[in-house]
Structure 1
Amino acid sequence: MRGNTYSDINKKLKANISKSTMSGWFKPLVLSYVSKKRLKSNIERKLKKSQLEAYKTNRRKRLYYLESLKSKNLYLLNSLDLSVQKLILCTLYLAEGSKNKNSAYLGLGSTNPAIIKFYLSLLNNCFKIDNSKFRARIQCRADQNKKSLENFWRNITGVPSQQFYPTYIDQRTVGKKTLKKGYKGVCVLFYFDTSIQLELELLAESVIKFITAGR
């Protein structure tokens, strides 16, 4: 039994002897170097096993919790008519878009392809869009591959290459390695239509007043 843990001993004896009892039994026992090494190895193995089991249990609980939160609000998707989508679009533009009323375009940039796709979908759902009015620009770090980024964002946006401005390289990043894995730079979309820009900005102002101060 030398080098075995208490649980190992119980398992081999097919018994259920308490740890305090075994501690009293084995207190006078002097372990050899090999037995101590074996005991340490057994303890570490059991610790790793228990940590892995705890991780799996916590992960299951976390996934269940997230799924319950997701399911809780799925019914709201049935309310996403065009009026609600327009409110979402103006809120998105309020948070992420350019705010210059004197400009002749809507401008919105993001590092997240899902946000760019979401924005384009909302625009097309809420307004009659002329794709020839789109322009795009990629902003990236000095050590990134421009062509690769341009191809990536062309596929995401559907904007043809001739409507892309030259890619802007942040000179502050020269000599500095990009550490963020999967970083694709920033895609800035411009849509040249003053009326849509003003409509979204004015709607956003009305939404803010309504929410914060009532009608």
Structure 2
Amino acid sequence: MSPKWKETIKEKARLLRKQGYSYGQLTKELKVPKSTLHEWIRGVKRPAKFSRLDRIRWIKEIQPLGAQGNKRKREKIVSQIIKEAKNEVSKIQINHETRKAILSLLYWAEGTKVRGALQFANTDPKLILLFINLLRQCYKLDESKFRIRLHLHYYHKVKEIKAYWSKLLSIPTNQFEKIYRKSRSKEKKFRRNYGGICFVKYYNVYLKEKIVQYGYALGEKIAGKVHVPVA
């Protein structure tokens, strides 16, 4: 390339820079590497308004593309984790003792330990169904001793929600207790869910004690005895 031609490109680069062209735009327009452009237009200030426009364009166009890329990457990783988890679980032999162990630890985490009936509560229908299925599989039950209590927000449709839980848990609606409705709060924010909070009750204190003590014994076998100070 001749020195005159090179000087012509330099001048054009400086002119375009003054008109607001970014380094990326200059590279595309002049087919010149950014490192070379940097030497040519050093000291040539780009109008401030174009810097602001670049920022706005980045927020509107470029940033979402990066977020979409990260989302796809994350979804791919999670998909692989799910696949691996299902593969590992498929190899586990789930017998009666395994079910009792899972049930007891589940109740230890989410169930009521104070005096009274067995009571397990959660907002996740999958977890509630897992608990009640394990309970039925591990112990001989009197189905008439089940009671369901629902805590719902103002936006829940009571009849629809009752029918949903009744069908899911195979418990008739005449075994549902009075529903607690939480009034709308202007200050407190909360995450909406479909089914509210479901409390599963089973009126047998001794069964509750069996499940709790099984969990405690299992925890002690795995982690050893733990001294818990009394407040």
- What's the CA shift for 1:201? 1.8
Greater CA deviation, 83-92 or 127-136? 127-136
- What's the CA shift for 1:122? 1.5
| Aligned counterpart, 2:185 | 176
1:95 aligns with 2:109: yes
| Aligned counterpart, 2:39 | 21
Residue by residue, what CA displacement relative to the aligned partner does 1:92-145 show, whole Å, maximum 9, x if unpaired? 1111112135x3x42111122121111122123323444333111112345654
Equivalences for residues 44-193 of structure 1 within 5 A: 44-46=56-58, 48-74=60-86, 75-79=88-92, 80-100=94-114, 103=116, 105-141=117-153, 144-170=156-182, 174=183, 176-177=185-186, 179-182=190-193, 184-193=195-204
Task: Report which of the two structures shows the higher radius of gyration computed on alpha carbons.
Answer: 2
Quick one: percent identity of the two aligned structures?
Answer: 24
- What's the CA shift for 1:193? 3.6
Greater CA deviation, 184-193 or 87-96? 184-193
Q: How many residues matched?
A: 203
Asked whether the equivalents of residues 10 and 17 of structure 1 are also in contact (C-alpha less than 8 Å), the reply is yes
Greater CA deviation, 76-85 or 175-184? 175-184
1:5 aligns with 2:28: no
| Aligned counterpart, 1:199 | 210
Asked whether the equivalents of residues 137 and 188 of structure 1 are also in contact (C-alpha less than 8 Å), the reply is yes
Equivalent-residue separation in structure 2 for 1:144 and 1:76 (angstroms): 35
- What's the CA shift for 1:208? 2.1
Equivalent-residue separation in structure 1 for 2:205 and 2:28 (angstroms): 78
Unaligned runs of 5+ in 1: none
Highest relative contact order (Cα 8 Å, sep 6+), 1 or 2? 1
Aligned residues: CA RMSD: 3.0
Unaligned runs of 5+ in 2: 1-15, 226-231
Closer, same or farther: CA 13–57 of 1 in aligned 2, 3 Å: same
Closer, same or farther: CA 94–188 of 1 in aligned 2, 3 Å: same
- What's the CA shift for 1:22? 4.5
- What's the CA shift for 1:210? 0.8
What is the TM-score of this pair, normalised by structure 2?
0.71
